[in-house]
Amino acid sequence: MIPAGLTLLLGGARSGKSRLAVALAAAQPGPVTVIATAEARDAEMAARIDLHRAQRPADWTTIEEPLALPEALEKAAAAPGTVIVDCLTVWVSNLIEAGHDDDEIGALADRAARLAARSPASVVAVTNEVGWGLVPVYPLGRRFRDVAGRVNAAWSAVAQRAFLVVAGRVLPLLPAESIRDVR
């Protein structure tokens, strides 16, 4: 059982984050709602969405919301149950594409993260770690990497639990303030 509040699952593409989120939610009592941020704009993305849908029980509620994540969380996480947010990284790219500036995205991320952390529901948020690769060649790629990193940090700062998912394995992430003696 995962308690109420926010659990953040961070990792690379195809690392098992979404599969873990589904497994955690399936082990919880009560209703499950999935807030899906992706849109099927091409065949490849449609196939990815279909794969994620196939991994979830048919009786779960899905809210498809590419932009208004705080509002979707207010609705979905207002009562006990489990909410999966999949995924923050796609949400960031949607906001950038929609013309939001970095400060607006930061404010939306802070609001959504606080809602998730204070929720009576168990919220499991999925996001990609995008800062471990090469520095993107183009300004838009660098902007996306930087904004996504700041959004991840904002969600991690208020999360009750955070885990790094690598190759289907999980590592707990400790808050920096829990390390007392680093000499």
DSSP labels, 71-100:
HHHHHHTSSSSEEEEE-HHHHHHHHHHTT-
Phi and psi at residue 77, to the nearest 5°: -105, 20
What sign has the CA pseudo-torsion 99, 103, 107, 110? Answer: positive
Residue of 108, 31, 17 whose CA lies nearest to 69: 108
Is 52 considered catalytic here? yes
Query: Of these residues, 52, 63, 89, 155, which one is catalytic?
Result: 52
Instruction: Please tell me whether residue 63 adopts helix, strand or coil conformation.
Output: strand
Supply φ then ψ for residue 125, to 5 degrees.
-105, 135
Residue with tokens 């990497």: 145
Residues serving a catalytic function are 52
